[in-house]
Structure 1
Amino acid sequence: MHIGSKIEAQQRADRINSFRLELEALQREQVVALDSEQELAIGSYHRRLLDQLAAGFDIDTTSRQKQLSLGMGITSSLGAMGLAASVFFFYFQYWGWLDTKTQVTVLLSMPFIGLVLTMGAARLDKSGHFAKLLALITLVCFVLDLSMLGQIFNIPPTPRAMLVWSFFAGLLAYGVESRFMLAMSMLCFAGFLSAQTATWGGCYWISFGQRPETFFPAALVLFLISLIPHRRYPGFAALFRIFALLLFFLPLLVLCNWGEISFLDMESELVEVLYQIVGFVAAGAMIGLGILRGWPEVVNTANCFFTLLLYTKFYDWWWAWMPKYQFFLLIGLTAIFMLLILKRMRFLSIRRKAEAAL
């Protein structure tokens, strides 16, 4: 048995508890009967394995422990945000009292100290709560480091700072297995690549948000990264796919309604129609791909945007002239029709899986 992360260890413990419950149900219904030696062997093996996992990864082996861990996670998140805000305002409260040499020393030392504390907490605290808390504070210190050093030495702002923030946040994410830090890394990377795309399109990089198409390259890159195996970090690949879809469909949804902000040198109405077609085709393709690859997060995200695109077009086409009861009746009938289609797709998926098993 090789388990390399806390998430894998928790998944194994959850499977053991589910197995125990299912075995008890099967025995009550007299579907299977184990003799005393078999029950003892299975029970002792599971207890020994759970003890090893709990000692090595500090996982939750009971439902009560999982509830307490959830509360600890919420508390640590609130504490991290509070301490990060405290560090941020502390800098601006006393910054003017320090000379330039002291300011530079503080800025250079704080991220390094935070990184050492984060790695130390990751080694000493198997639960990971303190490590993730310190990781967020370290990231805030690092962001302030680059920003305020630029102000001290009068360095003009550049999108490359977001690339450095993304790399640092990614290191912390993989170091402490934090999905929140990974999300921060992806947001910074998306900001950098979108700003670069805006400059390639002839815009000033700070104005990248005014051109939604600048986010499409970042969406493509994140989706390609999600295809890289993340065996030691379960959930990371799914998060990459979710952010990739968000960075693609959200700008596309904007362009479907405001074609005049597009890079395309076309009439705004034609741009809107073009992106509406792209949106429906892409959402349908992602739903199909998610079903084939077993990616529920892709199916759910694409389905949400397909529904948003569809209902947005319904509003544009029929709200102004159609009686309101007919409009909402059409909405309800469309939802039922989509439900039937998804049910059919689910049935075909189950049948395909059963045929493959045979």
Structure 2
Amino acid sequence: MTNITKTQAQARADQVRAFRAEQAVLSEQGLLQFSDDTASAIRQYHDKLLYELQQAQDVDLSEGARHLSLGMQIVSFLGAGALAASLFFLFYQYWGYFATATQVAILIAAPLVSLAVACWVQRFDSSGYYAKLAGLVSFASWILNIVMLGSIFNLTPSPNAFAVFAVYGFLLAYVLQVRLLLAAALICSFIFIGAQFGTWMGSYWIYVGQNPEQFFLPALFFFALPLWVSQARFHGFAAIYQMLSVVTFFVALLVLANWGGGSYLPWSPNLIEGCYQLTGFVASALLVFYGMRARAVNLMLTGNVFFALFLYTKFFDWWWDWLPKYLFFLGVGLTAILVLMVFNRLRKAQQYSLQRVQVSGGQS
């Protein structure tokens, strides 16, 4: 059991629970009857399996346990934030009493000590929550380290700091398997790449958000990264990569579709906005189809949301000023019904193809 991931262990435990629930229903209807010896053997096998999964990967064996796990994740996040804030204010409270060499030593030691604590706790913490909490504190210490060292030596602010944040965030995320740290590292990576690209184009890096086109290439790169490098050993990492990349890409598209002045293209703002509006429609529709084919529900829902946003902003541009408000919202409602009908047809087509595969598989 030690060579499987927590995702695989949780899926196996859910499979056992689903089998027991279906077995109980079939037994009540008289469709499935086991002898006492067979039923006892199956029950003992499942009990042993669930115990091993729980000991190895701390899986949730009931809905109540799953809800508690979600609560523990929230509490660990809040606890990490509180500890990081405590560390920050502790530094500032007594910072002036230390010599420069002592300040530097403390700043260097803080993230290293917290990283060592996180790795040590991970060896004994089967749930992983305490190790994740220590990892978040270590990441906050690392950020504080860079910021305070820059202040001590009066260094010019630079986007390279976000590259340093990202590297340490990726390291902690993969060592401790913390999705929140992966998300933080990705955000830092987007800021660094966008700021660096803006610097190459002649603007000051701090105005990274004024040219959203700078985020297109990093968003596409990080979206494709899980397709090139498998993330199967790390629970939820592939989804974090793709969801954050998709949101970044489409937010940039949405901004450019309504503000052509933020583009590097040497065209008129109206032409730029029209091109990006069309791109937004096509890209969001393609994301919906990709999510359906890859069975990635989150990506499909995200594509739906952004398709609706592009559609409704376009409706607002076209009709809001000259249509009566009741006709405007009537048009929006009818369009929603039309889109719902299209998605329903696609859903039925997908279910029909799945049934055909199951039937052909059963016949073979």
Both structures adopt the same fold (TM-score exceeding 0.5):
yes
> Which residues in structure 2 correspond to 1:1-358 (within 5 Å)?
3-227=3-227, 228-357=229-358, 358=360
Say if 2:107 and 2:145, in contact at 8 Å, map to a contact too: yes
Hey, what's the Cα distance between the residues in 2 that align with 1:224 and 1:58? 31
Say if 1:212 and 1:254, in contact at 8 Å, map to a contact too: yes
Hey, what's the Cα distance between the residues in 2 that align with 1:42 and 1:180? 39
Shift of 1:2: 6.6
Compare 182-191 and 19-28 and name the one that shifted more: 19-28
Compare 22-31 and 138-147 and name the one that shifted more: 22-31
Hey, what's the Cα distance between the residues in 2 that align with 1:257 and 1:276? 8
1:118-162, CA deviations, whole angstroms, 9 ceiling, x for partnerless residues?
Answer: 011111111111111111110011011112112222332222221
SS state at 1:231 partner? coil
Which residues of structure 2 form unaligned runs of 5+? none
Say if 1:194 and 1:217, in contact at 8 Å, map to a contact too: no
Hey, what's the Cα distance between the residues in 2 that align with 1:285 and 1:66? 34
1:165-218, CA deviations, whole angstroms, 9 ceiling, x for partnerless residues?
Answer: 112111211222211111101101111111111122222222111111111111
* Aligned residue identity for 1:112: L
Compare 63-72 and 111-120 and name the one that shifted more: 63-72
1:78-121, CA deviations, whole angstroms, 9 ceiling, x for partnerless residues?
Answer: 11111111112222222222110110000010010000000111
Shift of 1:3: 4.5
SS state at 1:32 partner? coil
Compare 187-196 and 69-78 and name the one that shifted more: 69-78
Say if 1:80 and 1:134, in contact at 8 Å, map to a contact too: yes
* Aligned residue identity for 2:286: A
Say if 2:198 and 2:214, in contact at 8 Å, map to a contact too: yes
Hey, what's the Cα distance between the residues in 1 that align with 2:148 and 2:291? 44
SS state at 2:258 partner? coil
Say if 1:166 and 1:186, in contact at 8 Å, map to a contact too: yes
* Aligned residue identity for 1:7: T
Hey, what's the Cα distance between the residues in 1 that align with 2:64 and 2:20? 17
TM-score (norm 1): 0.96
Please tell me the root mean square deviation across aligned C-alpha atoms, in Å. Answer: 1.5
Hey, what's the Cα distance between the residues in 2 that align with 1:215 and 1:119? 34
Say if 2:212 and 2:253, in contact at 8 Å, map to a contact too: yes
Hey, what's the Cα distance between the residues in 1 that align with 2:297 and 2:73? 25
Hey, what's the Cα distance between the residues in 1 that align with 2:304 and 2:343? 10
Say if 1:218 and 1:247, in contact at 8 Å, map to a contact too: no
Runs in 1 of length 4+ with deviation above 6 angstroms? Answer: none
Say if 2:222 and 2:245, in contact at 8 Å, map to a contact too: yes
Hey, what's the Cα distance between the residues in 2 that align with 1:298 and 1:65? 27
Compare 150-159 and 49-58 and name the one that shifted more: 150-159
Identity value in percent: 41
Hey, what's the Cα distance between the residues in 1 that align with 2:291 and 2:245? 13
Compare 54-63 and 112-121 and name the one that shifted more: 54-63
* Aligned residue identity for 2:58: D
Say if 1:143 and 1:165, in contact at 8 Å, map to a contact too: yes
Hey, what's the Cα distance between the residues in 2 that align with 1:123 and 1:211? 45
Hey, what's the Cα distance between the residues in 1 that align with 2:92 and 2:214? 33
Equivalent pairs counted in the alignment come to: 358
Which residues of structure 1 form unaligned runs of 5+? none
Say if 2:80 and 2:136, in contact at 8 Å, map to a contact too: yes
